[in-house]
């Protein structure tokens, strides 16, 4: 990514990256609490989750250095979130419920962050949508693989990927309709979150793949 493009990554995209780092860090720390790790383990899981998606996005788009190397205070924020969870997680009724809802918020912030970076890089629509989905989902996927949870994306009934995909498409379409880019991104983020919230509350789902029942024998 050439310097001129980097300067196009405006303040509001950085704000989205900060927000998604903070909330994803909380979810990583909650997984650490479910694994009964020590404080350094909390920080590691929080940081890995917080920057994982954006790191994959930046590597494939060729953004150099990746966002948190340019702004190391992002990792400090993730560490702070880990501390807060370490001292408060025992107060929560259901840590898994909190994990799901915080993850939904993080998804709603990270998807537009990914879309915004790819738009600033003048990539085409396919890459813009993929950048949104990667930024939204890869951090949580890494968190779940490393932290020994069933990845949320593998739960067919969760519509997880569909929310990320739908939100990225909506952000792109709002920008095409002529809305200012920050507004389009915020709209796409809200759409992502609302889709996911609907899934969590009302159990919205797409039909999942079900193999035909075996033939009954004559």
**185 vs 33, 118, 175, CA distance in Å?**
33, 12, 8
125-146 vs 95-120: helix axis angle to the nearest 10? 150
Assess 141 for contact with a second copy (CB under 8 A): yes
Is residue 77 a contact residue for a second copy (CB under 8 A)? no
Q: How far is the CB of 89 from a second copy (least distance, A)?
A: 7
Q: Check if the beta carbon of residue 135 is closer than 8 Å to that of residue 118.
A: no
* 24 near a second copy, judged by CB under 8 A: no
Exactly one of 99, 100, 130, 191 binds a second copy (CB under 8 A); that residue is: 130
**Residue corresponding to tokens 């001129």:** 4
Q: Is 37 among the residues that bind a second copy (CB under 8 A)?
A: yes
Name which of 72 and 178 has its Cβ closer to a second copy.
72
Q: Applying CB under 8 A, does 59 fall inside the site for a second copy? A: yes
Q: Name which of 20 and 199 has its Cβ closer to a second copy.
A: 199
Gap between the Cα atoms of 12 and 201, Å rounded: 30
SS (H, E, C) 104-173: HHHHHHHHHHHHHHHHHCCCCHHHHHHHHHHHHHHHHHHHHHHCCCCCHHHCHHHCHHHHHHHHHHHHHH
Provide, rounded to whole angstroms, the least separation between the CB of residue 178 and a second copy. 24
Q: Token digits for 95?
A: 């840590």
Which residue number, 2 or 7, has a Cβ lying nearer to a second copy? Answer: 2
Positions touching a second copy (CB under 8 A) are: 32-33, 35-44, 47, 55, 59-62, 64-66, 69, 72-73, 75-76, 86, 89-90, 95, 123-124, 126-127, 130, 133, 137, 141, 145-148, 150-151, 153-154, 156, 159, 161-162, 165, 205-212
């Amino acid at each position: 990514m050439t310097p001129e493009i980097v300067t196009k990554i405006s303040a509001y995209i950085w704000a989205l990256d900060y927000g998604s780092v903070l909330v994803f860090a909380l979810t990583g720390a909650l997984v650490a609490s479910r694994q009964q790790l020590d404080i350094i383990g909390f920080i590691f899981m929080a940081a890995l989750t917080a920057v994982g998606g954006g790191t994959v996005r930046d590597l494939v788009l060729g953004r150099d250095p990746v966002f948190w190397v340019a702004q190391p205070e992002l990792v400090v924020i993730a560490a702070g979130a880990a501390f807060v969870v370490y001292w408060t997680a025992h107060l929560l009724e259901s840590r898994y419920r909190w994990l799901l809802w915080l993850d939904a918020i993080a998804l709603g912030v990270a998807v537009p962050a990914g879309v915004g970076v790819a738009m600033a890089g003048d990539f085409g629509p396919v890459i813009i949508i993929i950048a949104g989905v990667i930024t939204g989902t890869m951090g949580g996927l890494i968190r779940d693989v490393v932290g020994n949870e069933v990845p949320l994306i593998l739960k067919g009934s969760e519509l997880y990927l569909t929310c990320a995909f739908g939100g990225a498409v909506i952000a792109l379409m709002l920008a095409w309709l002529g809305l200012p880019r920050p507004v389009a991104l915020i709209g796409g983020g809200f759409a992502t979150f609302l889709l996911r919230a609907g899934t969590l509350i009302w159990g919205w789902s797409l039909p999942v793949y079900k193999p035909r029942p075996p033939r009954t024998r004559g």
